[in-house]
Amino acid sequence: MPEGILASVALLTFNGEKYLNEVLEAVFSQKTAFASEVVVIDSGSTDRTLEILASYPVRLHRIPNSEFNHGETRNLAARMARGQFVAYLTQDATPANDQWLQHLIDAFEIGPKVAAVYGLHIPRPDCDPPTRRDSMEFFAAMGPADQPTVRSIAEGEGRQEYQRNEGIIGFYSDVNSCLRKSVWEKIPYRPLDYAEDQAFGRDILEAGYWKVYEPRAAVIHSHTFPLHNYFQRQFDEYRGLRRSIGTGKIVVEFFSVAISRSVCRYLSVKALGCSARIFAASDNLCAAWNSPSAAMTLERRSRSASACFAIARCIS
């Protein structure tokens, strides 16, 4: 390992020209008390991605698109990394401040059992209201907004707590994350096509390590999809979760929520128009459908979602 490099920022790219300049400008503007490097693995970009990368001092490695795998390609980036810590970003996740990398690395000072750290996602300005609300509420549940939160499976009743709240305790996102390379050498990413980060987060907890949520290490990141793509992404995501971590009951419940949210957006666009006010109103309806009240059972949620989706298809 070259002397002085403490952290490697790993960026995986494929036709990422839209935000890539913005992301790299933010990465190379980081103010840290240590030296770092940027490792990029590109999987066959045909847009301006390679041209943009050529204007920055990155270590570029190119692979055929057919060889890309979410887990294995991140393992490749970790093998290439020369730092003790490897911070992962997606090509559309922009560090929100010049202390992003410092905050990620500082979180490892909490203790030697900290194996990985992940940070906050701030929705982009053009993010639609339902997705914005989902993101903000989800990360608010992770812990306080001004300090790190440590997650682990404690001895005794910790296992029961983890099983009750696995979605929060086990969550990990490679959109914005950092791992300790010495732990990764023992527990690499699984070779998964999807949800490799969720599997990794749970694997390190099961091995007795700690995971930290550091909200001050924030990135600007969100997606706004056309309805069909939105629905397809929800399906892919929860199918990926089931395949990678096997939480069938949790995934079915999450998927019922996703279906009803998709239906609300569909009805809003097709029947009422595509305004922020209508999106917000439909989002409130979605929240009511997915109320945690005793009367709103999983079966009722699923039936409501299925019925509304059928109606939506009829008016398309």
Tell me phi and psi for residue 282, to 5 degrees: -65, -30
DSSP secondary structure letter of residue 189: P
230: confidence class by pLDDT, cuts 50, 70, 90: low
Q: Based on the number of CB atoms within 10 Å of its own CB, is 20 exposed (0-12), middle (13-18) or buried (19 or more)? A: buried
Beta-carbon contacts of 117 under 8 Å, excluding residues fewer than 6 positions away, are 104, 107, 108, 148, 177, 178, 179, 211, 212, 213, 214, 217
pLDDT score recorded for residue 232: 67
Q: Which of 9, 57, 4 is nearest to 35 (CA)?
A: 4
The proportion of the chain whose per-residue pLDDT surpasses 70, expressed as a percent, equals: 70
Residue of higher predicted confidence among 101 and 313: 101
Q: What is the pTM of this model?
A: 0.80
Mean pLDDT of 161-183: 93
Confidence label for 129 from pLDDT (cuts 50, 70 and 90): confident
What value does the CA radius of gyration of the chain take, rounded to a whole number of Å?
Answer: 20
Pair of tokens at residue 159:
């296992």
Mean pLDDT of 132-142: 90
pLDDT tens track for 42-101: 999 999 999 999 999 999 999 999 999 999 999 999 999 999 999 999 999 999 999 999
Can you give the residue ranges of every domain in the chain?
5-220, 227-315
Average pLDDT (248-275) is 50
In CATH, the number for domain 5-220 is 3.90.550.10
Element (H, E) at 196: helix 196-206
Q: Please, which pLDDT band fits residue 296 given cuts at 50, 70 and 90? A: very low
CA distance readout (Å), 310 to 14, 156, 262, 284, 306 = 36, 47, 12, 20, 6
Mean pLDDT of 256-263: 54
